[in-house]
Every structure is written in structure tokens, then in C-alpha cells.
Amino acid sequence: MATIIDGKKLAKEYRMKLKSRCDDLKNKGINPKLAVIMVGNDKASQVYVKNKSKACEEIGIIFEEYLLDENIKQEELINLIEKLNQDDSVNGILLQSPIPSNLDINEAFQKISPNKDVDGFNPLNVGKLALNQDTFVSCTPYGIMKMFEAYNVDLTGKNVTIIGRSNIVGKPLIQCCLNKNATVTVCHSKTKNLKEHTQNADILIVAIGKAKFVTEDMVKDGAVVIDVGINRDENGKLTGDVDFENVEKKASYITPVPGGVGPMTIAMLMNNVIKATENSKF
């Protein structure tokens, strides 16, 4: 039976440490602030943003929400980003994705000041991560790396297989794992013989958004399995991309859904806001 990686507990410990760093800033008269932009009414985004606002409240970070109509023009979105870039009271800017498809999200991410880019999506910060330089690491990959650290999972020389190549999770994870000296394989919808790659993985990270996609037969004995998925099963219950009940019997470590990667993602966002504030004031 696998050890369950308790993301919920670990994230709480991180938030407590961040609260103390936030208190130190406040004692110096500095009040960290996160500005979140949401365009349209995506239901899942509303839940994510609510959770981000709760975490800010717990730590003492000011949370400012900008809700934009789904019909806004690109120019209005860019104007808002530029206004927030100029505003010295704003330390972090987050544009919640997805946004309506007629808008250009890449241009928007590029306009967010690299110093306030707490999601790590500005191309400059993406490049810095690729060069293994200090930067804002995007929050889900960063949270996963912190889980490895906390559970003493050493990546050196390990075969890491990532399923999913999104800009938000899969691609930055490649760099994070490579920076820790892993041998990295990335699988996606066009990959042939997926099972061969997953069975070879000492560490398997799944981020595709398909409920219970990874089954026991795809996993090597003793593998570390990280589940980034958040899906609803046929009964409306939250479930990951991994068939947890069966894979748990074979893995050495596994993350649950909920209570695994999700809370760590938010804790790392909070970390990045505090880091941005500390960077800007000293």
C-alpha cells in the first residue's frame, strides 16, 4: 500500500510559514496585495478563484478581484493589466484562465510585468525556468516539487513520465524535473504505446483531465504517482486522473484528489505573492 502524500496538511504548514512572512512585511508597513482578473463566468474558475481568495484572507494578503464581462475587447484587458503593472500597491497579478477564445491570452500573459507574474506565465519567466534561474515557478509544478522535497523523493537519475503537455502544468514540469536531474518523458494525446512509457516511470505525473485514466496495469511497482486531475465521476464525486483505489495498492507514494496537488498549488501562489512583495520592497 502506498503512502498517501497529504497535500492538504503540507499546504497548511506552508500557509502558516507564509503568514509569518506576511506579518513581518505588515510590521514594516507593507501590505502584500494580489490582483486577480477573471473574464466571463467559467464555473470552475469561480471555484478556483474563491479558494485563492480564502487563502489570501488566511495569510493576510489583500485580494482584489476584477471581474470582466465576457464581451470585453482585448484592448480593455491589456489596459487593465497595464494599470495594475503601474500600481505600486499591487504586488502580484493573476489572469485566471481560460478566457474567451476571441481574446489573445498569450499577449495578455506577456503584458503582465515579470516582477508581478505570480503564475510564472510571462515568457521571460518561462525562459528563466528553462535556464534554471531564480524566477516565479508556475504554481502547480512548484507545489509538486515541494511535495517531493517534503517526502524525500529524490529525482536524481529517476525516470519521470509526465502525461499532459499544457503550458500551465506539463511544460513547466519538464523543466522543474530536469533541473532536479531526472530523465523526463512527456506523453500526450498523440503518443504511441503510452503504457510502455508509464510502466517505465519511477515517477508518474498525470495532468490530462480524464477521470481515472491511469489504471493499475499502467503503473510500475513502487512508483510515485502524482495526480493533477480534478474531474467529476459519474456520481458527481471529485476524482483525479488516476484510478486511486487500485493504483494505491501498487505505488509507493500517491497523491489523493481532493487533498493532494490542489491545495499545494494555492499555497505556492501565496508563496509567489509574498516573494514578489519581498522582492519589490528591499
Contacts to ligand GUN by CB under 6 A: 94-97, 119, 139-140, 168
Minimum distance between the CB of residue 155 and ligand GUN, rounded to whole angstroms? 22
Catalytic residue among 6, 33, 52, 227: 52
Q: Is the Cα dihedral 125, 130, 131, 132 positive or negative?
A: positive
Q: Which three cell numbers stand for residue 23?
A: 506579518
Minimum distance between the CB of residue 110 and ligand GUN, rounded to whole angstroms? 14
Distance CA(117)–CA(5), nearest Å, equals 28
Active-site residue, 8 included: no
Minimum distance between the CB of residue 119 and ligand GUN, rounded to whole angstroms? 5
The residue among 96 and 135 lying less far from ligand GUN, judged by its C-beta, is: 96
DSSP class of 269: H
- Say if CB 112 and CB 81 are below 8 A apart: yes
The residue among 227 and 243 lying less far from ligand GUN, judged by its C-beta, is: 227
- Residue whose C-beta lies closest to ligand GUN: 97
Residue-level length of the chain: 282
The residue among 10 and 95 lying less far from ligand GUN, judged by its C-beta, is: 95
Count CA within 13 A, CB hemisphere, residue 157.
Answer: 0
What residues does 162 pair with on adjacent strands? 186, 205
Minimum distance between the CB of residue 196 and ligand GUN, rounded to whole angstroms? 30
Minimum distance between the CB of residue 166 and ligand GUN, rounded to whole angstroms? 9
Distance CA(168)–CA(245), nearest Å, equals 27
Residue 29: phi and psi, rounded to 5, are 80, 15
Catalytic residue among 6, 117, 119, 227: 119
The residue among 160 and 169 lying less far from ligand GUN, judged by its C-beta, is: 169
The residue among 95 and 211 lying less far from ligand GUN, judged by its C-beta, is: 95
Minimum distance between the CB of residue 201 and ligand GUN, rounded to whole angstroms? 24
Active-site residue, 119 included: yes
β-pairing, 33-39 vs 62-68, is: parallel
Active-site residue, 96 included: yes
Name the strand (E) or helix (H) holding 66: strand 62-68
The residue among 159 and 167 lying less far from ligand GUN, judged by its C-beta, is: 167
CB atoms within 10 A of CB 152: 7
**Which residues have a catalytic role annotated?**
52, 96, 119
